[in-house]
Structure 1
Amino acid sequence: MSKKSIMVMCMAAALSAQAQAQTQKKAAPTKKPATVVTAPQKQGQTRLVEKVTRKSGELVIPYEKYVLPNGLTVIVHEDHSDPIVHVDVTYHVGSAREEVGKSGFAHFFEHMMFQGSDNVADEEHFKIVSQAGGTLNGTTNRDRTNYFETVPSNQLETALWLEADRMGFLLDAVTQKKFEVQRETVKNERGQNYDNRPYGLVYEKNSAALYPYGHPYSWTTIGYIEDLNRVNVNDLKNFFLRWYGPNNATLTVGGDVTPAQVVKLAEKYFGPIQRGPEVKNMKLPAPVLTQDRYISYEDNIRFPMLQMTFPTVPNYHPDEVPLDVLAEIIGGSKTSILYQNLTKAQKAVQASAGHPASELAGEFTLTVLPLPGQSLADMEKELRNALVEFEKRGVTDDDLERFKASYESGIINSLSSVAGKTSTLAAYQTFTGNPNFLTNQLKAHRAVTKADVMRVYNQYLKGKKAVVLSVVPKGKPEMVAKPDNFKVDPSGYKAPADQYAGLTYVKAKDTFDRSKVPAAGKNPVITVPPFWKQNLANGIKVIGAKNDEVPTVTLLFTLQGGHKLEAHDPSKAGIASLMASLMNEDSEKFTAEEISTKLEKLGSSISFGSGSETMTVQVQSQVKNLDATLALLEERMMHPRFSQDDFDRLKKQRLEAIKNQSTQPTVIANNVYNKTLYGEGHIQAIPVIGTSTTVESITLDDVKKFYANYFSPSVTNLVVVGDVEQNQIMPKLAFLNKWAAKPVTMPAEPKLASIDKTRIFIVDKEKAAQSEIRIGYMAMPYDATGDFYKAGLMNYVLGGAFNSRINLNLREDKGYTYGAGSYFSGTESSGPYTAYAGVRSNVSDSAVVEFMKEIKRFREEGITDEELAFMRSAIGQSDARKYETSFQKAAFLNNMLRYNLDADYVAKQNQILQTITKEEINALAKKYLPIEKMSIMLVGDKVSIKPGLEKLGYEVVELDPDGAPVLAKADVPVTPAEPKKAEPVKKGRKARAEGRVF
């Protein structure tokens, strides 16, 4: 796992505990956290290993750690700030435990763990968690696999029962049919995230060249298609028996629980499961490169890419942190060498450095995407020159101060999530055996010196060899930095000893009936967070809420308009987004680099953005640094420099980004779909970033005029969430009173395009492995308690949940896709209904048939009693998770201001949820699922998909990537063949739960 991955988990980890946990033992006269180590474990007893408490001012996650007799480690973090609980089971097995020829097993098995077990029927795991108001998922990386649920605290026992059942009672439920369906799902995932994504194979190609043949990091977690085709169900079962024992797992529970409660339930449900084979930690030498290894491949891209990778050290090695500092200095921010020399100098779209580290090895990477006119050979020289420049420049006190402040601030800013705290404890236990390793990490970051950074530069980069990967557009192999000089050589590889011989499946024997779903406790009481309101004289509407779980403050400014304002002059579309980008650059007093440096030292952030109907300003600060952060905010908001140099550079980058969209099927699909919905001439039919024609016409004076006319307090809402009271924060915001109000007139809403009949639109993406599908029409604007809200309830079981009819059909039954669904989205003015998926190219027509079948069946037959009860329970109980973090509170408050909602609108929604009838749901389906008047759009390989689509009985229209009709070569009408029939609906199919899985 990369250092940044661990850090992100840490960031979601400790300070909420700081505010919530009570010290349970008198602190010893030391700066270390209090730790209690018990006596050795007696035979057959659960052992308390340690108890860590927090003293005032420490960044520590309090917990108790136990070990069951079967080897299962149990960690409990008690935090009663919200009525929720997070359950995480981490197995110390990832793709690094696989063998040559059997790649992808760990990830494949993650999929199989969601397919039912002895006492949990197929698809029931998802349904039970979702119906309880929870969310769930699973993830796999090189070194570990984890499964987790966040549920209301009254559902703790149910979550533990579910996880224990698949740990101890899985294999008899693994069938050949389930195996085949999930194999197709994994292939779809690979197609979507690797094969059909620009630069998607960089990691795979680089890993194969960097590590020796047979090294467990020489392949990626997703695996190779040929290995997925080769694997059989018995191979997969053996993988489970070898690695999924309780002695290779950590159960971590955090939230509204007590340790005694968790341990008792863990003993009941996990205790009877037998130990698995012993698992030892791996340790491998770092790769040794005797020469620079040049490799390349062709991809469907606009910008070529060059990446240099040097082998370094694993996670938690003493040199990891100084290498992280080195990466930051060379290519981590606006002050970095690569940004200044390449990005700002307009030689590259982006240039960066990073140091991802995993359990067995680390990689120092330099990456650049040059702008046209710059060759990859030139870029290689630039990257090597950047290293030389660093050596001359050295490390400054500023470098270390910014790095350390940003690191600690990052941790503090993300400590409000019980899921984050729990996963952090789990990760540290899995990889270090010490859940409290956050303390060690903080020490390492605080202690790093300039000499450390120079030492690791000399040791790992200076004069060292690297893998140099060129990614070039298809058909242009001459663009590589240098000809390939390396091929993977399997000679000399010696396969490891067989680890799977003689494995047997022995089920646990229970003293209770494990087939019974545990009864839930009393539903927790959920209350909407209290808030305050205040309006400023210049028109700013302020709403705020106190949140003292972390010592931070979040400010969110939302200005009405954004892209929508460009309807006043569509020839300048993209100007709002371009203006926001410029406001992230120089101010009148400071350069962008100076502001970046100041913010990093404060551990703060300020960012400007613009979307389809709003412009935003987001601010994050520790309470102690709020005054200094607000001073920089005033400078950036009120006094942008709008320099010609910045404008020229950002405009050039924007134009290249627009051209680059032609390589991204998902972006093409979204843009063209919007055009079919809104119609020619509507501003929302134009991408938010504009088109080449509109952006080319924008001048710096246009931007200044747009700022003067539309960046106004009269259309501004401000949300404040943090560890401050209203009477503390409002005086600090007094500078906003100097912001002069100006009237802002919103453009008149144009008439939306109408759809007279359902048509299929095809956008050609030659040789695409997948087709992106969008189906829908323009439905209705947002309404918190009207038909918009009710239609969302209606759609939940059709396409809104993971267990929806659409996803269950296309993903779980057919194996067409990695994920499919549908939703209503809306703003004040409009809102589409959209069904979506990315499917294998060879099933494009069949996928359309199944989409339309499910929508039609739901419209005609309506919702079942079981589905209605499931929807009510799932949406109603999810309230426990709605207001946990500062971000969630800010989003809730922002919604109230933006749509002028009543203070009790949540209560009204809950009343609607509990009283809406089956008849009302069915009437909504008939009204808002007009299958005879929808646009069906596919972005895919026309040659492959068009013949099948033409047989479905719809008019087929070809569009170019900009959404314009493609003229036919011959005006010959096509007579539709007999429509393809939908596959029959399977009876007795059970519902499945919400959440994007795997």
Structure 2
Amino acid sequence: MTHRFAAASLSALALALAVPFAPALAQTAPAASAAPQATADLPTLVSQVTIPYQQFELANGLTVLVHEDRKAPIVNVTVWYNVGSKDEPEGKTGFAHLFEHLMFNGSENAPDDYFKYLAEMGATDYNGTTWFDRTNYFQTVPRPALERALWLESDRMGYLLGAVTQGKLDNQRGVVQNEKRQGDNEPGGLVFYDVLKTLFPDGHPYQHEAIGSMADLDSASMEDVKAWFTENYGPNNATLVIAGDISAEEAKPLVEKYFGTIARGPVNDPAQAPVPTLAEPVRKTFKDQVAATNVTRYWPVEGLTGKDRIALDVGASILGGLASSRLDNVLVRDEQLAVSVSSSNSSFQRIGILSVEATAKTGVDLAVLEKRMDEVVAQLIAEGPTEDEVRRAVTSNLARTIRGLEQVGGFSGKAQTLAEGEVLAGDPQFYAREFEALAKLTPADVKAALGSWMTRPAMTVVLEPGARDATYEEAASVAAEGANASERDRAAETISVSAVRPAPPIDSIAQLDFPDVERATLKNGMKVTYARRTAVPATYVSMAFNAGGAADPAGKTGLDGLTLSLFDEGTKSLSAQQIAEAGERLGATVSVGGGDDRSTFTLSALTANLAPSLDLMRQIMREPAFNPEDLERVRNQTITGLRQAMKSPQGIAQLTLTPELFGANSPYGRVPTVASVSSITRDDLIAHKDSWIRPDNGEVFVISDKPLAEIVTALNAAFGDWSAPATPKGTKQFADNMGANGNRIILVNRPNSPQSFILGSQITPVDAGDPAFVAFGSANKSLGGDFLARLNMNLRETKGWSYGVRGGAQARENAVVYSISGGVQADRTGDSLAEMLRETKEFLTIKGVTPEELERNVASDVGSLPGRFETSPAVLGAMQSNALFGRPDNYQETLASIYTAQTPATLDAIARASIDADKFVWVVVGDANVVRAQLEPLGLPIEQREMEGE
């Protein structure tokens, strides 16, 4: 996987660390209907945020860090290589990322796709990524599989080249090129190539994205690949981090055993890259399939270890990163010139990119928006932030860090944090230096940093609605008519083994210990489902109401979503700005959202601040103002988002298919439209709230490090006197005959698309609360459920026509839908859909679940259970799903026995009873001039539609 640039801060503020303390924050609830307050001693908090580790180095130069965390029988294994796209020579762009793909395609002693071995270990949170500065691989495995994971990582580090074949290279070249097409196909997907070329001069290491160019990928030869591996993937150019249920004393002999024999290689000296300054401001305008005009300013700034970096992070948060940010307050809330704003400082090893952006409200003069945006920026530079702004920025980010402390691995867990510090800053404790700087940061520091960097010339990018006026780069393998160089013939491949290294056994199974569930009742009758987790001083409270999108009345689709969006936009006593500021001071977030079946309010709080955090949640839920001016502002934002969804391939497909699948009048078939959202009144919001968001229609779910009795006391203080209104509770009406005529194609014409997005769905007879649902999911792992499933292995790993294809069940309370989806290169659209149909039909008839697939999938499903429920949010989600689908409290602990009892025959039976290959409604979003002729030979009726206009 390569990173595509997104406007999100890479600050270590959000990294997951280990904290052995409960923060000394205020615990007294403020007076009712006032903004809740908290005090926090930031230097004390920051000084106690630690990741204890031990470090050693092998004779071959491999740096090893071990962090012990005994909360669950899982261990994360992470390897960071000191090489990224900035280190690529001219004409070899994309090589680091291409090689990341190849390193998942098998090594000498593990010659199959690495996802197979990860599945056999029961791995979770696994992936590999490449960006400007590094390439990394990570997986969390059950403790009994640790030795197997070390064997696997060491085999690709030291014994890879004998398994790299021309077939693999050609295939993964095609996969990467489809990954590039997938990114390019998104609205605005071509813009950032130009940003990098403008911000950085020719020859600068950061001038190209990690995905590379089609031409350079086409040119990659076996000689290039082998040279790249030899030069960059030696143990002395790598850092290994092991974090979890293990000590350094236990880890060291295992690391010696598996990595000690690997020969030392060259050490990459990361490319030096000065921070450039534009000679003068640059302005470029692009058109693409976007719903509203967006303007973004970009400045090159210091990198990860720069003296001003922390101050720039905080300044960007104050400017446009926090919910209470200045740009939000002025441009979105007060003057309503923009529907969204953001500001971020993205930090890399040598450089950073500071950006400020705004998306214009329809009808607003762009010049007016830019003038006010610049004035807000200029005022912050001239006056600096307030002490309260700095404190809120630091506190809210620190609180997010603390809530992420449970995870040992993943994209930003403890292992990744240590590895990033070691590889990019030469210090595993780099995070501690960052937090120390945060604790001491002053408004003057932020003012000086912003004044130093944001007064330099910027690049301005304007992205306007319209036909894309830039052309995307296509691969030579597609440009050459009839070419099919990327299809892989596995049977013809041979590998050489330089050293035989048998896989170590996995001699036991780690057991899931799902937290014991307790229950209570609040004074107002609301049921509380609770589980205790003590790894971090955090509490999660989720209130779920039987509403969701299915509660939308006919003609008012989008009502539930719009209503939920207004709850935190103002209360009886607090403005949206005051709500945001209060949450930031508390280190608390109240997220409001819904799916098809439930509308949910979730509080994430530092436990020591639970009382005032619950009071904030109380005011948001029980005292929403639904101010008319807020309604119009949020309505405009909602409509813009809806119009943008109608521009993206996935959004078009889903909005097209949903009413076709369920029927436009079904509660599940109603989709928001511009007309329906435009028709919603304030009275509609109030009536919806009174009918659905009420204590007799909801239940409470809690995860906390505090005992249930204390939680109930706190909940009663905020909600115990909340009573239901006199109006009747809302009801939903589902027809017994939901379903659609299948075996047809709806082709939505999206011109100039380098990929086509295919989505096919059908309603199944499966009930998500029935034990058969588990079997259905297990059977589908052979067809479409994961990376190793037949659909993905065929279209991605054999043919190279797609970056990924999946098939899976989406469970609703009253329907289970099975869908197959994926983006495919435009010239293979018809072939790809034909393969989806063939694979499905054969799976349901002559090629059911094989014994090999069953063995691998059972090992994966059983082994992954401890990792799947490592964090409190994961447990909270499981508790809510159990309630929604009527499952027992110990459901998660019964899964292992269910998996091990499965047979190919039982799985085939449930799959064949649930899916019918002739009942799919297919939606294809692509360039009709390119793909229609490809679809016609399939023999299915084709209805062609044009994209919805403005």
Query: Paired residue for 1:184?
Result: 174
Given candidates 459, 468, 471, the residue that maps to 1:467 is: 459
Deviation readout 1:670-717 (Å, 9 max, x if unpaired)? 111212210232232222xx1111111111111111112211111212
Q: 1:12 is matched with which residue?
A: 16
2:221 is equivalent to residue 232 of structure 1? yes
Q: Which moved more, 1:831-840 or 1:255-264?
A: 255-264
Partner of 1:686: 670
Identify which range, 929-938 or 643-652, moves more after superposition. Answer: 929-938
Please report the TM-score for the alignment, with normalisation by the length of structure 1: 0.86
More displaced 10-residue stretch of structure 1: 942-951 or 772-781? 772-781
Corresponding residue of 2:542: 556
CA displacement 1:133-178 (0-9 Å, x = unmatched):
1132101111001011111010111101111111111112111111
Deviation at 1:537, TM superposition (A): 5.0
Q: Deviations over 1:181-235 (max 9, x none)?
A: 1111111111112x10112233221111001111111111111122212222221
Describe the shift of the 1:962–1:787 C-alpha distance in structure 2 as closer, same or farther (beyond 3 A): farther
Residue 15 of structure 1 deviates from its aligned partner by: 2.1
Aligned CA distance change for structure 1 residues 703 and 561 (closer, same or farther; 3 Å): same
- Report if aligned partners of 2:748, 2:925 keep a CA contact under 8 Å in 1: yes
Alignment of 1:392-407 (within 5 A): 392-407=382-397
Residue in structure 2 matched with residue 849 of structure 1 by the alignment: 834
Residues 897 and 755 of structure 1: is their aligned pair in 2 closer, same or farther, counting only changes over 3 Å? closer
Q: C-alpha separation between the residues in 1 aligned to 2:172 and 2:252?
A: 34
Distance 1:757 1:619 in 2: 42
Could you say which residue in structure 1 is the equivalent of 2:289? 300
Q: Is the 8 A contact 2:293 2:462 kept in 1?
A: yes
- Give, in whole Å, the separation in 1 of the partners of 2:529 and 2:623: 25
The aligned counterpart of 1:547 is 533
**Paired residue for 2:714, among 708, 723, 732?**
732
> After alignment, is 272-281 or 614-623 more displaced?
272-281
Kept in 2: contact 1:17–1:61 (CA 8 A)? no
Matched to 1:519, the amino acid is P
Q: CA deviation at 1:258?
A: 2.0
1:806 pairs with 791, 815, 819, which one?
A: 791
Where does structure 2 lack aligned partners over 5 or more consecutive residues? 24-42, 471-495
Task: State the partner residue of 2:476.
Answer: none
> What is the alpha-carbon distance in structure 2 between the residues aligned to residue 793 and residue 533 of structure 1?
31
Preserved CA contact (<8 Å) 1:672 1:962: no
Code of the residue aligned with 2:816 in structure 1: it is G
Is 1:80 paired with 2:70? yes
Following the alignment from structure 2 to structure 1, what is the Cα–Cα distance between the partners of residues 451 and 384? 12
- Give the structure 2 partner of residue 285 of structure 1: 274
Say if 1:61 and 1:421, in contact at 8 Å, map to a contact too: yes
2:912 aligned with 1:926, yes or no?
yes
Contact kept? 2:9, 2:344, Cα under 8 Å: no
Q: 1:706 aligns with which of 684, 688, 706?
A: 688
User: CA separation in 2, counterparts of 1:172 and 1:92?
Assistant: 23
Higher mean displacement: 766-775 or 467-476: 467-476
How has the CA–CA distance of structure 1 residues 55 and 448 changed in structure 2, closer, same or farther, with 3 Å as cutoff? closer
Q: Distance in 1 between matches of 2:821 and 2:101?
A: 22
Question: What amino acid maps onto 2:317 in structure 1?
Answer: E
Task: Render the CA deviation track for 1:603-630: whole Å, top value 9, x for unaligned.
Answer: 1111211221111101011111111111
Q: Residue 522 and residue 477 in structure 1: after superposition, are their counterparts in 2 closer, same or farther (change >3 A)?
A: closer
Report SS of the residue matched to 2:918: helix
Q: Which amino acid aligns with 1:739?
A: W
Change (3 A) 1:151 1:578: same
* 8 Å CA contact retained: 1:781, 1:828: no
| Aligned-residue CA RMSD (Å) | 2.4
Using the TM superposition, name which of 130-139 and 951-960 deviates more: 951-960
Compared with structure 1, are the counterparts of its residues 6 and 80 closer, same or farther at alpha carbon in structure 2 (3 Å cutoff)? farther
1:452 deviates by 0.9
Change (3 A) 1:119 1:663: same
Partner of 1:502: none
Name the amino acid aligned to 1:555: V
Q: Does 1:818 align with 2:808?
A: no
Cα deviation digits, residues 725-763 of structure 1 (max 9, x gap): 011111111131211125524222124443445112211
Instruction: Tell me which residue corresponds to 1:454.
Output: 447
Q: Which residue of 2 aligns with 1:118?
A: 108
**Partners of 1:827 and 1:858 in 2: how far apart?**
25
The one-letter code of the counterpart of 2:459 is V
> How far, CA to CA, are the matches of 1:562 and 1:475 in structure 2?
35
For residue 272 of structure 2, give the secondary structure of its aligned residue in structure 1. coil
What SS does the corresponding residue of 2:229 show, helix, strand or coil? Answer: helix
- How does 1:23-34 map onto structure 2 within 5 Å? none
Using the TM superposition, name which of 204-213 and 516-525 deviates more: 516-525
**Gap change, CA 1:585 and 1:393, over 3 Å in 2:** farther
What SS is found at the alignment partner of 1:81? coil
Equivalent residues of 1:771, 1:839 under 8 A apart? yes
CA contact (8 A) 1:18 1:58 kept: no
Question: Helix, strand or coil: the match of 2:845?
Answer: helix
TM-score (norm 2): 0.90
How much does 1:5 deviate?
Answer: 6.2
| 1:792 and 2:777 correspond | yes
2: CA distance, partners of 1:56 / 1:758? 59
Percent identity (aligned): 32
Contact 2:142 2:510 (C-alpha < 8 Å) held by counterparts = yes
1:60 to 45, 50, 56: 50
CA distance in 1, matches of 2:150, 2:319: 46
Whole-Å Cα distance in 2 between the matches of residues 387 and 755 of structure 1? 53
The alignment covers a number of residue pairs equal to: 892
Match of 1:665? Answer: 649
Mapped partners of 2:468, 2:240: distance in 1: 51
1:926 is matched by which residue type in structure 2?
R
Superposition pairs of residues 854-869 of structure 1, within 5 angstroms: 854-861=839-846, 862-869=848-855
Residue 446 of structure 2 is aligned to residue 442 of structure 1: no
Checking the alignment, whether the CA contact within 8 Å between 1:542 and 1:719 is kept in structure 2 is: yes
Q: Which residue of 2 aligns with 1:938?
A: 924
Partner-residue secondary structure (3-state), 2:599: strand
1:89 and 1:751 map into 2 onto residues whose CA distance is 52
Query: Which of 730, 733, 743 is residue 748 of structure 1 equivalent to?
Result: 733
CA contact (8 A) 1:272 1:509 kept: no
How far off its partner does 1:477 sit? 7.8
Q: Please show how residues 201-280 of structure 1 align to structure 2 within 5 Å.
A: 201-280=190-269
Residue number among 871, 879, 884 corresponding to 2:870 in the alignment: 884
Which of 118, 121, 143 lines up with 1:153 in the alignment?
143
Matched, 1:430 2:430: no
The aligned residue for residue 937 of structure 2 is 951
> In 1, distance between residues paired with 2:311 and 2:895?
52
Is contact 1:10–1:421 with CA below 8 Å preserved after alignment?
Answer: no
* Amino acid in structure 2 at the alignment position of 1:786: P
Q: Deviations over 1:354-392 (max 9, x none)?
A: 111111111221111112223444433233222222245
Equivalent residue for 1:164?
154
Change (3 A) 1:931 1:717: same
Per-residue deviation, 1:785: 4.2
Distance 2:449 2:176 in 1: 39
Partner of 1:43: none
> Match of 2:78, SS?
strand
DSSP 3-state at the match of 2:632: helix
* 1:274-300 deviations in Å (ceiling 9; x for gaps): 111132244332102221122233322
Q: Is the 8 A contact 1:539 1:715 kept in 2?
A: no
- The match for 2:478 is none
Contact 1:784 1:905 in 2 (8 A): no
Task: Rate the CA distance shift 1:158–1:413 in 2: closer, same or farther, 3 A.
Answer: same
C-alpha separation between the residues in 2 aligned to 1:284 and 1:776? Answer: 49
